[in-house]
């Protein structure tokens, strides 16, 4: 059964000019005119969650994660698209689940119940459990404005969990709790999922997303960048960050065209952008040489963040490039039974002078390696255990 | 209103009463002391310093008290209602609920407590022989109800506007001050020069003051022709205020 379905959901926020802009905005809103100057926080988001499924929402700060969760929780209405929800939604957004700062912890428990339409008497039984789970001791009788952020989250989590929601939405709750509370939360969420609960989990911890969610969605600039099995999406997301960091470090020069007088890689092609671990990969290319001597090509494999994995030059292997005339020299090589671990890599080619001493430009192509392995590290090393295999 | 909204409103209302009046040390006492002190000061200024006359033989205390309390209730309700969204900002940003409930709770709690103080003061004045007809409460309480409905409407509009335009709260105070002096609360309508009297009488609060004095000081319990008009005006204000609020409330989350 589909518990939650979003179709082409988008949300615009009005951008307001400092002077008089707000008066103008109110005027427009009162006349039900859409604000003219808007920021697209979210656009064209569609997905469905079945009962018992769990979805991790990942993305950079400002990517629209919180906006999406708020739309699902019903706190804001989407500007475009529809949200269909068939169950009780419990939400923990931006620390706490809508507490009133003046109320005591106890009063906020009653408030949370009222928000779900329950009379205080109806949650009498759960109240003890909430107080126990939150573990705030005497602070439960104090107004929560005196709580630390960690304490608010503890109470929020305790409340959201005790009221048995069909969908639990959590936004970065685990970031503020202490170690032992985090463990308690994770244990609770795992049990909740095992019992058929549905989780919508927003986090910057890929570890937690992989651990708790079957699916993941990567939001980028308000749009869905990728949606799928959480292991794949988180891997791509991490690779994206590695690439971004690498780019920030060196300002990677991308494929440069003809540079007259210099040795240059004119063309670099892979037979596939995406290969299975253990498959063959063929690299094709062409190097420009200003004179008539055969140039040397350097082929390198680096991880998306720039960590070198492997490198070889044509002269090391005593291979000569084929002369294609007109100063063009061709090469073609196959990396057999690619032992790279699943992830994102780049294949680089550098043109070097015939002596293989001076390296000129650098052209790269990205490569994704897919696989189901749970091994760690960059490459698969062939290995053999001397102990019995467990049955 | 769904069962959930009713439970929520009851919760807000209880808290508004408890946190605001019973929670602080001065508490409920202050809700009663403030109007009493004001009443004392007005009495001193008007009867001892200005030696004002023309209260149709009635005691100045009873004359002012009858109309001052509902005015103070309206004034306080407008002020509290205007900032209600700010007080519930944490919830507005994180939970889905009808935002207008916060205004209802705010205004409702203020009116309930001021009405309680009013009844106490009227009983004290009646016992002290200040010529109060307690039977007039039969009219006075519906009059309060009409004022409450109208004030709720205005408070809804102000609360919604305050989210976007923060000056509302600061403009409100002087405006209320001006309205108070233009309303026959401290003086009878009969003292107003005939040329401007219709303008002063057109003030809805003038209707309120007139009806309360009529019922509580003179003991007239009959309905007036203006009563129906007042009720209609109150309902229109409420409907208009709520329409403004509902247009703007989907956008609160971003601005509150």
Please check whether residues A62 and A158 belong to one and the same domain: yes
Quick one: CA torsion of B198, B200, B202, B208, rounded to 10 degrees?
Answer: -130
Q: Classify A297 in phi/psi space as left (phi over 0), alpha (psi -120 to 50) or beta.
A: beta
A142 and A239 belong to one structural domain: yes
CA distance A243 to B159: 48
Q: Is A347's Cβ below 8 Å from some Cβ in B?
A: no
CA distance A365 to A362: 10
Strands of the A274-276 sheet, one edge to the other: A274-276, A359-370, A343-352, A296-303, A308-313
Same-domain check for residues A216 and A315: no
Mark whether A135 and A169 lie in a shared domain: yes
CA–CA separation, A208 vs A223, rounded Å? Answer: 22
Segment A320-349 mean pLDDT: 90
pTM of the model: 0.74
CA dist A193 → A31, A161, A167, A176, A202 (Å): 46, 12, 10, 22, 16
Domain shared by A203 and A344, yes or no: no
Q: What's the average pLDDT block by block, 10 residues per block, for chain B (256 residues)?
A: 86 82 62 82 84 71 90 95 92 90 95 90 89 91 96 97 93 95 89 90 91 91 89 96 95 88
pLDDT at B175: 96
Assigned domain for A31 exists: no
Q: Please, which pLDDT band fits residue A18 given cuts at 50, 70 and 90?
A: confident
What's the rounded mean pLDDT across residues A308-312?
91
Give residues with Cβ within 8 angstroms of A257, minimum separation 6. Answer: none
From B183, B182, B172, select the one nearest B80 (Cα to Cα).
B172
Query: Is there a contact between B94 and A102 if contact means CB atoms under 8 Å apart?
Result: no
Q: What is the pLDDT of residues B17-42, one digit of tens each?
A: 876 665 555 656 777 788 888 888 88
Regarding whether A303 and A345 lie in a shared domain, the answer is yes
How many percent of chain A have pLDDT more than 90? 23
For residues A279 and A90, which has the higher predicted lDDT (pLDDT)? A279
Domain that holds residue A58: 2-12+43-244
Beta-carbon contacts below 8 Å between A and B? 85
Whether A77 and A154 share a structural domain:
yes
Return d(Cα B145, Cα B157) in angstroms, integer: 19
Among candidates A210, A217, A216, which has minimal Cα distance to A190? A210
Q: What does pLDDT average to over chain A?
A: 84
Q: Residue A182's domain is classified under what CATH number? A: 3.40.50.300
Is residue A83 less than 8 Å (CB to CB) from chain B?
no
pLDDT in tens, A244-293: 877 765 544 444 444 446 788 888 888 888 899 999 999 999 998 888 88
CATH number of the domain at A365, please: 2.60.40.1930
CB A95 within 8 A of CB B91: no
Q: What is the DSSP string of A85-128?
A: E-S-EEEE-SSSSS--TTSBHHHHHHHHHHHTT--GGGGHHHHH
CB contact under 8 A, A96 and B244: no
Could you tell me if residue A258 is inside a domain?
A: no
- Residue from B20, B105, B104, B6 nearest A103 by CA: B20
Residues A216 and A160 in one domain: yes
Cα nearest neighbour of B243 on chain A = A30
Identify which of B4, B15, B95 has the shortest CB distance to residue A117: B4
Looking at A192, A213, A244, the residue that finishes a domain is: A244
Looking at chain B, which residue has its C-alpha nearest residue A92?
B94
Closest residue to A75, CB basis, from B88, B95, B244: B95
If DSSP codes are grouped into helix, strand and coil, which group holds residue A13? strand
CB contact under 8 A, B15 and A118: no
Best probe of the B interface among A18, A33, A100, A170, by most B CBs < 10 A, is A100
- Specify if A280 maps to a domain: yes
Q: What is the pLDDT of residues A127-182, one digit of tens each?
A: 888 888 888 889 999 988 888 888 888 888 888 777 778 888 888 767 777 788 88
Q: What is the pLDDT of residue A255?
A: 40
Q: What is the pLDDT of residues A2-12, one digit of tens each?
A: 889 999 999 99
A178 and A215 share one domain = yes
> pLDDT at position A23, please?
86
Residues A159 and A303 in one domain: no
Q: Using a CB-CB distance cutoff of 8 angstroms, which residues of chain A are in contact with residue B90?
A: 96, 98-101
A26 and B90 within 8 Å at the Cβ level: the answer is: no
Task: Supply the ipTM of this predicted assembly.
Answer: 0.78
Give me the residue from B11, B94, B250 closest to A114, CB to CB: B11
Find all residues with CB under 8 Å of A203, minimum gap 6, and list them.
Answer: A56, A57, A58, A172, A174, A175, A209
> In angstroms, rounded to a whole number, what is the distance separating the alpha carbons of residues A350 and A295?
10
Give domain status of residue A317, yes or no.
yes
Domains held by chain A: number: 2
Do A283 and A166 fall within a single domain? Answer: no
Q: Judge if A137 and A221 occupy the same domain.
A: yes
Mutation target among A98, A101, A106 for the B interface, most CBs of B within 10 A:
A98
pLDDT value at position B36? 85
- Residue A309 in any domain: the answer is yes
Task: Please say if the pLDDT value at position A28 is more than 50.
Answer: yes
Nearest to A76 among B23, B97, B253 (CB): B253
Q: What is the predicted pLDDT for the residue at B20?
A: 66
């Amino acid at each position: 059964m589909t518990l939650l379905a979003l179709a082409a959901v988008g949300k615009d926020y009005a951008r307001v000019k400092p002077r008089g802009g707000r008066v103008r905005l109110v005027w427009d809103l009162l006349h039900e005119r859409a604000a003219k100057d808007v920021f697209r926080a979210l656009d064209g988001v569609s997905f469905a969650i079945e009962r018992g499924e769990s979805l991790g929402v990942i993305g950079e700060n400002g990517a629209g994660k919180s906006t999406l969760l708020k739309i699902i929780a019903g706190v804001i209405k989407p500007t475009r698209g529809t949200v269909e929800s068939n169950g009780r939604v419990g939400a923990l957004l931006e620390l706490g689940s809508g507490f009133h700062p003046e109320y005591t912890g106890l009063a906020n428990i009653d408030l949370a119940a009222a928000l779900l339409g329950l009379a205080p008497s109806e949650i009498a039984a759960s109240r003890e459990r909430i107080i126990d789970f939150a573990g705030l001791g005497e602070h439960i009788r104090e107004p929560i404005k005196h709580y630390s952020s960690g304490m608010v989250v503890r109470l929020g989590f305790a409340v959201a969990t005790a009221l048995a929601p069909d969908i639990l939405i959590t936004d970065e709750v685990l970031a503020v709790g202490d170690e032992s509370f985090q463990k308690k939360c994770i244990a609770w969420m795992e049990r909740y999922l095992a019992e058929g609960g549905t989780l919508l989990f927003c986090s910057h911890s890929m570890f937690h997303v992989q651990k708790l969610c079957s699916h993941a969605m990567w939001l980028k600039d308000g749009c869905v960048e990728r949606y799928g099995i959480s292991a794949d999406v988180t891997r791509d997301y991490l690779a994206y960050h590695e690439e971004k960091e690498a780019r920030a470090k060196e300002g990677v020069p991308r494929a440069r065209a003809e540079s007259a007088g210099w040795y240059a890689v004119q063309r670099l092609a892979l037979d596939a952008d995406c290969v299975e671990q253990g498959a063959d990969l063929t690299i094709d290319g062409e190097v420009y040489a200003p004179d008539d001597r055969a140039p040397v090509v350097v082929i390198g494999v680096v991880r998306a963040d720039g960590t070198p994995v492997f490198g070889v030059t044509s002269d090391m292997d005593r291979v000569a490039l084929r002369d294609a005339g007109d100063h063009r020299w061709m090469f073609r090589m196959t990396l057999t039974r690619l032992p790279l671990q699943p992830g994102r890599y780049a294949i680089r080619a550098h043109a070097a002078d015939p002596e293989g001493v001076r390296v000129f430009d650098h052209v790269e192509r990205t490569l994704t390696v897919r696989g189901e392995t749970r091994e760690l590290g960059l490459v698969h090393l062939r290995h053999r255990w001397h102990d019995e295999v467990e049955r | 209103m769904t069962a959930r909204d009713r439970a929520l409103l009851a919760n807000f209302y209880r808290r508004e009463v408890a946190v605001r009046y019973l929670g602080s040390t001065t508490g409920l006492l202050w809700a009663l002391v403030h109007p009493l002190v004001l009443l004392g000061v007005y009495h001193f200024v008007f009867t001892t310093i200005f030696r004002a006359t023309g209260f149709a033989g009635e005691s100045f205390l009873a004359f002012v008290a009858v109309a001052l309390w509902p005015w103070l209730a309206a004034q306080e309700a407008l002020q509290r209602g205007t900032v209600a969204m700010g007080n519930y900002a944490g919830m507005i940003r994180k939970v889905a609920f009808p935002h207008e409930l916060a205004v209802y709770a705010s205004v409702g709690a203020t009116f309930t407590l001021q009405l309680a103080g009013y009844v106490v003061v009227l009983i004290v004045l009646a016992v002290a022989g200040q010529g109060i007809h307690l039977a007039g409460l039969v009219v006075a309480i519906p009059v309060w109800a009409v004022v409450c409905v109208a004030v709720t409407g205005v408070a809804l509009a102000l609360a919604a506007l305050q989210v976007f335009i923060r000056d509302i709260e600061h403009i409100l105070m002087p405006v209320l001050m001006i309205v108070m002096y233009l309303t026959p609360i401290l003086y009878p309508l009969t003292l107003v020069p005939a040329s401007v009297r219709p303008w002063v009488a057109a003030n809805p609060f003038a209707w309120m003051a007139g009806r309360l004095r009529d019922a509580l000081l003179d003991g007239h319990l009959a309905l007036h022709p203006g009563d129906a008009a007042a009720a209609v005006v109150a309902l229109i204000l409420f409907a208009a205020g709520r329409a403004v609020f509902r247009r703007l409330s989907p956008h609160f989350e971003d601005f509150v």
